[in-house]
Amino acid sequence: MNKMRKNKLVIGSFLMLSLFASCSKVIDVKETDFIGGDVALKTVANVESGIIGAYATMNVEMGILLNSVFTDEVRVAEFYNAATVHEWQYGSTDISIRDNFTAFPMYYRTIDRVNRVLAALPNAKAANATEEALKNRIRGEALYLRAFCHFGLYQFYSNTSDGTALALAYMETPNLLPQARITVAPYMAKLNADLVAAKALVPATNADIARASRHAVSGLQARVALYMKDYTNAAAFATEYIAAFPLASKTNFPLIWKDANNSEVAFKLIRTTTAGGRIGALYRGTSANATNIGTVTWRPSSALLNSYDQVNDIRYASYFFEEPILKASSARSIAAILINKYAGTAYATPTELLADGKVFRTGEMYLIRAEARAELNDLTGAAADLNTLRAARINNYTNASFSSKGDLITAILNERFKELAFEGHRFFDAKRRNLPIIRLAADAQNNKITLESGNFRFLLPIPNSEIQANPLMVQNPGYTN
């Protein structure tokens, strides 16, 4: 080694040592404008802010859009940029899946927030008995949100009652290490344990409908039990909910969708500002003015429209409307019946297409209980639930009778199609019942009429980003990375 090279090495070593010494000194400097987790969540007020921050990340929009676009709820209108998902051609690298239907970051972000709240709660100092009670409530809310988000992940990537099938990782602590998928049985055991604990801690009733109450927990317990084919508990939890929230009157029901009342609703996500997202914008764009209506992306399918008694069923006018401007337009060749469920206020107003996300409603609970009772061979009770719901929605309704369990369950599923349209259930219902998606020819794009029952695309692909970042992650069957 020559002398010049030795000098370079000595100088380089000196510079490196100097750099490390300087960095060490910088690291030792205490920041004055940073609030770390050890400081940020020391008070009860802090942890309550943390749980409110977790609520702020909640989302129903992704599930609503998925259950419309992947099924027979909608047909193409004026703008079509979702061919791969609407026509069931998606894979693990599909851009539309990546951008619009990736549940991992959405749900696990919320789960991480509530887990940080749960970790901080024992050290949050309560100043009095009121704050101590609030700590218990916050713990209950955190457990509820953790269960809610894990159930959402299960709906996207698993959704089977087979306890030996793969679910996902059930995260109970803040953790950035790679996590392996676990099977459905232990996953659901953890989820149900969170709900039982939450139910004992959250308020029996809640003046703030955007925060958890026991009735919101009952609603989620009923839904989870139905998916797991635990029909006895599904009926019991649905009954708890129904006892607290009767069906809306025919006068009040249309007002639910205008956010003029909260009939039937135990828990919803408030969308009163554009920052929360416009649910109605899933189906059409905002309008330039009162006559220049926004581009219609999706319109209701013929199958859905034709399923209603359009004269007597109050749901028809609540969920749809005929747009006279479009009907009269020669420039816009589109059927003029549009989705009204999340229309918000008038065209071109600040709250056009803004409406709250109703997470649990009594209508769903009647249908959960009806399906559960039918599966338990209580056909009389199941028929009574179905007829009660229909009588609340249809003028001059006459009770129907059913000759078999199969006929009754088919009628219940058809009623779910009508009652729960655009609320995020249709695709998941077909998956959990192992049924195909069948479109009318008039509603099908490029002849994509049927997604056969059991098709691997009923399970969405695990995102490629997750596969690449987590060496323990296993992809769902049928997809390559």
Report in angstroms the alpha-carbon separations of 333 from 212, 336, 445, 478: 45, 9, 17, 39
Asked whether the whole model's pTM tops 0.75, one would answer yes
Q: Which of 309, 327, 355 corresponds to the end of one domain?
A: 355
- Does 189 lie in the same domain as 100? yes
CATH number at residue 142: 1.25.40.390
147 belongs to a structural domain: yes
Q: Which of 297, 330, 355 corresponds to the end of one domain?
A: 355
- Does 163 lie in the same domain as 308? no
- Residue 325: which domain range? 271-355
Buried-state track 267-278, b at ≥16 Cβ within 10 A, e below 16? bbbebeeeebbb
Is 205:350 a contact under the CB 8 Å cutoff?
Answer: no
- Does 442 lie in the same domain as 321? no
Q: By three-state DSSP, how is residue 297 classified?
A: coil
- Does 183 lie in the same domain as 82? yes
- Does 185 lie in the same domain as 80? yes
**What backbone torsions phi and psi does residue 73 show, to the nearest 5 degrees?**
-75, -30
152 belongs to a structural domain: yes
Per residue, what are the HEC states of 88-133? CCCCCCCHHHHHHCCHHHHHHHHHHHHHHHHHHHHHCECCCHHHHH
439 belongs to a structural domain: yes
- Does 277 lie in the same domain as 194? no
176 belongs to a structural domain: yes
Local structure of residue 460 (DSSP, 8 states): P
Distance CA 340, CA 311 (A): 17
74 belongs to a structural domain: yes
453 belongs to a structural domain: yes
- Does 198 lie in the same domain as 49? yes
402 belongs to a structural domain: no
**pLDDT tens by residue, the chain, 481 residues:** 444 443 433 334 333 333 333 344 433 444 433 344 555 678 999 999 999 999 999 999 999 999 999 999 999 999 999 999 999 999 999 999 999 999 999 999 999 999 999 999 999 999 999 999 999 999 999 999 999 999 999 999 999 999 999 999 999 999 989 999 999 999 999 999 999 999 999 999 888 999 999 999 999 999 999 999 999 999 999 999 999 999 999 999 999 999 999 999 999 999 977 666 899 999 999 999 999 999 999 999 999 999 999 999 999 999 999 999 888 887 786 768 999 999 999 999 999 999 999 999 999 999 999 999 999 999 999 999 999 999 999 999 999 999 999 999 999 999 999 999 999 999 999 999 999 999 999 999 999 999 999 999 999 999 999 999 999 999 999 998 7
Q: Which of 333, 355, 377 corresponds to the end of one domain?
A: 355
- Does 279 lie in the same domain as 175? no
459 belongs to a structural domain: yes
- Does 189 lie in the same domain as 76? yes
- Does 445 lie in the same domain as 315? no
Q: By three-state DSSP, how is residue 316 classified?
A: helix
- Does 166 lie in the same domain as 72? yes
**Total domains present in the chain:** 2
